[in-house]
Amino acid sequence: MLRDIGFETDFFTVRGKDIGFCRHCDYCIKNRECVIEDDVYKLYPILHNADGIIVATPVYNGGVSAQTKAIMDRCRALVAADRNFFRNKVGMAIVVGGDRVGGQELALQQIITFYILNKMLPISGGFFGANLGASFWSKDTLEDVKEDKEGFRSLKKTINEFGSFLNLFATKVDTL
């Protein structure tokens, strides 16, 4: 969708990646890098070059997946090295839950909170259906995600707002 309106995009998935959890050991505070050398290091330059970031996650137990949370927590090393690393980057969120009300809003709020704490500009699709971002109902199948008209409406609204803000600030978007 973003490429269709002229934005350059990169894609990073946690699937099949070696991603350790933040140990909160403060190594990054002292050394300006994370002590855990794994696939998260492949993401860091992508985030650095991005003007906009989209975090997309399945909803697990009413929140973001453990892998998504690990990525967000591991960004602490980036902010330890540069407190303005994420400043003024535009952020949006996409979540997919097995139930219509399976924790999507809580997962969206977790991502938005990550953006706010890191001085980013969180973007939603606005009122009437995309209040916090894009939200899908999978009914636990990929086929049902593809048929979720309301989910795609929320995605389109959120992408349009995200694109508008990027046009104000940037030209490159990365997804996580």
CATH number at residue 160: 3.40.50.360
Q: How big is the CA angle at 122 (ends 171 and 62), to the nearest 5 degrees?
A: 125
pTM of the model: 0.90
When pLDDT is cut at 50, 70 and 90, the band that residue 117 belongs to is very high
Least confident segment among 15-19, 98-102, 116-120: 98-102
Determine, yes or no, domain membership for 58: yes
Determine, yes or no, domain membership for 73: no
Whether residue 8 is predicted with pLDDT greater than 80 in this model: the reply is yes
Q: What are 36-80's pLDDT values in tens digits?
A: 999 999 999 999 999 999 999 999 999 999 999 999 999 999 999
Return all residues near 143 (Cβ < 8 A) that are at least 6 apart.
none
Q: Which amino acid is at 80?
A: A
Q: How big is the CA angle at 67 (ends 50 and 159), to the nearest 5 degrees?
A: 40
* Residues present in the chain in total: 176
Whether residue 171 is predicted with pLDDT greater than 60 in this model: the reply is no
Determine, yes or no, domain membership for 167: yes
User: What average pLDDT does the structure give for the chain?
Assistant: 91
Whether residue 105 is predicted with pLDDT greater than 70 in this model: the reply is yes
The domain total for the chain is 1
Range of the domain at 55: 3-17+50-67+86-175
Determine, yes or no, domain membership for 143: yes
Burial of 2 (0-12, 13-18, 19+ CB in 10 A): middle
